[in-house]
Amino acid sequence: MSRFEGKTAIVTGASRGIGLAIAERLVADGARVVITARKKEALDEAVASLGGAKHAIGVTGRADDLEHQAATVAAAIETFGSADFLVNNAGINPAYGPLMELDLDAARKITEVNCLGTVSWTQQVYRAWMRDHGGAIVNVASVGGLRPAPGIAYYGASKAMLIHLTEELALELGPHIRVNAVAPAVVKTRFAEALYQGREEEVANVYPLKRLGEPEDIGSVVAFLLSEDAAWMTGQTAVIDGGLTLAGGVE
C-alpha cells in the first residue's frame, strides 16, 4: 500500500507499544515517520525496526518539553520535507488508587503530558506546517475517558479532557486540518500490564470479542483516520474496545 506516499507523520511516545505499532502501519502505508521517546537506545531500536533512516528518524526528549517539540517538528520538515500528520500518543499514568489518595504532583504531571502536551504539540505543528499546508491529527485517548475508571480515575479524567480537546481543535482548525481521536480499551503493552498481568483470561472474558487489544488493532484505525478514507470525519472519537463498553466495563 502507498496511500501515504510523500507524507510525513510525527508520532509521539513511539519507541514501543501502541505508538510503535502506529508508526509501523504508517510506514507500511508509504509514510515517512518521525518518532519520539525519552530513551535514546529504545528509540534507535525502534527506528531500525521501521527500516532505518530512509523511512524513520527518532528525536529523543520529554513529550511535554517545548524545545523538544519544536526540534521534532523542525526535524520532520528538514529531513522529509513536511509534517502532514501528527499522532499525539505520548501519555503517562504514574498514579493508581482512589482519588482521595491521589498525589497532586502526579496529577499535575498527568495533566501536563496528556492534555497540555497535546495542545502544545498541535500548536507547534500548526505554526510550522499545517497552517499553510493542511493536515490531519489523531489523539490517543482511552475508554477510561468515556466512563468512570476505578483505580485510574485521574488518568481517565485526563483522557476525557483529551476527547473534549479533540472536539474543540476540530472546530478551530477546520476545514483544512482534521482532528480525531481513538479510545482504546486494554491493549497488551508494557504500559497497561498492571491492568491484566497474571489474569489476562479473566480480564478478556468480560470483552464480547474475548480478547484484549493488540497494538496493531490501534495502528490500523489511526491510519484510517489520517487517510483520505476519513476525509469527512473530524472531531470524532473512535472507540476500539473489543465491545467492552457494550458490556458496561472499563477494564
Q: What angle do CA 28, 65, 129 make, to 5 degrees?
A: 55
Decide if 97 is inside a domain: yes
pLDDT at residue 135, as a whole number:
98
Could you say which of 96, 126, 154, 155 is catalytic? Answer: 155
Count how many domains the chain has. Answer: 1
**Residues 112-132: tens digit of each pLDDT:** 999 999 999 999 999 999 999
Is residue 189 included in any domain, yes or no? yes
Mean pLDDT per 10-residue segment, the chain (251 residues)? 93 97 98 97 98 98 97 98 98 94 97 98 98 98 94 96 98 98 94 79 93 97 98 98 86 50
2 domain-assigned: no
| Per-residue pLDDT tens digits for 105-114 | 999 999 999 9
Output the nine-digit C-alpha cell for 188: 497488551
Please indicate, yes or no, if residue 149 is contained in any of the structural domains. Answer: yes
Q: Which domain holds residue 102?
A: 8-239
Q: Is residue 95 part of a domain?
A: yes
Could you tell me if residue 246 is inside a domain?
Answer: no
Residue 39 lies in a domain: yes
User: Which cell is 34 given?
Assistant: 518521525
In a domain, 3, yes or no: no
Q: Note the pLDDT of residue 249.
A: 64
Which pLDDT score is estimated for 200?
Answer: 86
| Residue 126 falls in the annotated catalytic set | no
All residues at 6 or more sequence positions from 214 whose CB lies less than 8 Å from its CB, including other chains: 21, 187, 188
| pLDDT of amino acid 250 | 59
What gap in Å lies between CA 51 and CA 24, rounded to an integer? Answer: 9
Q: What is the pTM of this model?
A: 0.96
CATH code, 187: 3.40.50.720
